[in-house]
Structure 1
Amino acid sequence: MSNPQNDIRAQRRENEDPEEAVRPMPLSALLIAIGMVLWAVVYILRTEPLDMAAFGDQRTRAELSGPAAPAAGAAVDGKALFAAQCAACHQATGKGLPGVFPPLDGSEWVTGEPRILANILLHGITGEITVAGQKYQGAMPSFAQLSDAELAGLASYIRSSWSNQAEPLNAELLAKERADGSARSTPFEGGAALKALVK
């Protein structure tokens, strides 16, 4: 049987249960928290809406929807077409991605025979191609959905940009190559097939 005096002594050795009243939250911290919440509410209510043109990159919806088809006789913005159609792979610098996407800057395919570049744009290319001494294995899609004027503007831009100093292409050449290759439904298979165009 337990001794009641021992039980009382054991209870006295135990610590009291903690209570919040022992260490209440400082009044100054509570006032600071309330002040910050009130300031945030007032700030949000007084600021202007976030859909203002001053935010973001400030491009209009028309600019983001891509280049419109040019009117007959209008100049084509080859740089804008390049940014929309080609820069994702070949990069804005024209340097491409080593081992993945070939460079356009200093490419013999870009600055060489105009017919070859016209056909690459019209029909695309798949398989192995050597550019600036490095081999690439991949595929480039056809851009035949673009008009002859747009393709000429795009080709002229890449032939005269970066370190390239080649003559521009005209829409008549693209129209002729489009008509001559109308029977082709597949991309060119590698660089050898492209070289065969000018033999």
Structure 2
Amino acid sequence: MPMMPDDVVLLDAAGRPNGRAPRAHVHDHATPLHLAFSCYVFDSQGRVLLTRRSLAKRTWPGVWTNSFCGHPRPGEEPRAAVVRHAASELALVLDDLELVLPRFRYCATDASGVVENEVCPVWFATTRRAPDPDPAEVAELRWVTPQELGRAVDAAPWALSPWMVEQVLQLGDLVEDDTTTSPSDLVGMVG
């Protein structure tokens, strides 16, 4: 089976697909708007998996972030892209995949000047398997409660990926007062 090109979907200012480009050449000092995704994986105890990006990553090396992120390939269904990345980066099989922030968008520049400029829908998923991270993608991982994640975002946002900080804050804005800890209730973790 031939390998699919590792292209990303380029987007116009309104977030509509308008081309493609090799992923390896997209992230630079003038990154065009493109499609991505973020996923938060929960275990049976309601804990969320955080990962520390590999030191070999081109953007935000060594930074703690959500469970995993990636880019759908042109023509790839978003759900299939999330499942593909979970398997390749963490050797995880996902259950109960749910889109929670369909229109999340951000732009951020890392210390080296590389820009992330993405429409990045956010997904929640559960798993019953232990992760086995690809060391080229993940340096470390930790399972934390949603409350611990919320406290980390409040106390040290500078130590976390900027997209995760923004996502957690937006998830917290979705509800006024929620004290439960199931995956769908991550939205109540900040505040």
Q: Say which structure is richer in strand.
A: 2
Q: What is the TM-score with the length of structure 2 in the denominator?
A: 0.21
Q: Say which structure is richer in helix.
A: 1
Which structure has the larger Rg?
A: 1
Q: What is the TM-score with the length of structure 1 in the denominator?
A: 0.20
